[in-house]
Amino acid sequence: MFSTSALRNLTLAGLVGIAVFASAAQAEEIEVPVGSQGYIAEASHLRGKKQEQVSEELGEPLSIQGPVGEPAITRWEYADFFVYFEYDRVLHTVAKKHQG
């Protein structure tokens, strides 16, 4: 059978393997604290509109990120705020935090 030392080494190897697998399986999560999220009155009317409607009203965004995840979330950046889409409909608008 196995010696005590061999069992201890086998157990240690198993624990290290589990730790490596667990750390590799974690996804990056980005959080914006609720207190730092701004309400955009001029963009609040966009909720539920399609991407092409937003583009017609506001013009082309400065940048586009995504889609990412399921449901697919895309972020359009404008000068003072971000527009978040779920698939092709506006989900939310968030003010940019300006340095001042």
**pLDDT (0 to 100) of residue 11:** 54
CA proximity to 48, closest of 15, 21, 87, 19: 87
Name the residue among 76, 74, 78 with its Cα closest to residue 88.
Answer: 74
pTM of the model as a whole: 0.58
- Residue bearing the bigger pLDDT, 63 or 5: 63
* 37-59 confidence digits (pLDDT tens): 555 556 778 999 999 999 999 99
pLDDT in tens, 4-30: 565 555 455 554 455 444 444 444 455
* Residue-level pLDDT at 18: 53
Tokens coding 48:
């539920």
- Write down the pLDDT at residue 20: 45
